[in-house]
Amino acid sequence: MAFPIAHATAGYLVYRLDPRRARGTWPRALAFMAIANVPDVDFLVGFLFGRPGAFHRGISHTVLAALVFGALAGTFTWWRRKDRWWPATLLCAAAYGSHLLVDAFTSDLRDAAGAQFFWPLSDAYYISPVTIFNGMFLDGDSRSSFISSIVAWPTVWLLAYEVLVAGVVVVLLRVLDVVQAREPACEPMVAEFGREEELT
């Protein structure tokens, strides 16, 4: 599985698809980044029962869960903020679904690699043959083994790699924002230059 860093980055990319993102700024971006990590709440549920991995890669890691979450979040957004229901639902479902997409492109050392993304239509496990992230192994058999595997050196190195990838993505996007912000300012200069050529 990937770290929350990779999932948050995917959620941020979905946030940038929102045409109203300039209105919400960072609080709205943080909401999308949090939604992208919701599927891994199954670890917390398992932690309460003494086995953090008991429910991982279950129903929370399915397209069905993404659609249900999107509908509920879209309804809440429509009621609370008076946003249009369909766009809000699609964006929230996409943010949730981005978690599944990242997991699909993360290497998995377990026998049943991937997750049952299309449950209940299919019980098969799916994973991309080409992966971007190296999956970390978390021992979910007990609370102590789970915590120990989180702070293990291999896990720390994988976290550093995700931070690097996320940093590169964010920097490139910020550069793109700066370039796009300058384009309107250049248009009057281009138009004025064109008029000067006509006069000559």
Confidence grade of residue 193 (pLDDT, cut at 50, 70, 90): very low
Q: Rounded to two decimals, what is the model's pTM?
A: 0.83
Alpha carbon 141 to its chain centroid, in Å, reads 26
CA distance 38 to 7: 10
Residue spans per domain, the chain: 4-199
64 versus 160: which is more confidently predicted?
Answer: 64
CA distances from 188 to 67, 178, 184, 198 (A): 45, 18, 8, 15
* pLDDT tens per residue, range 25-76: 788 899 999 999 999 999 888 888 888 888 888 999 999 999 999 999 999 9
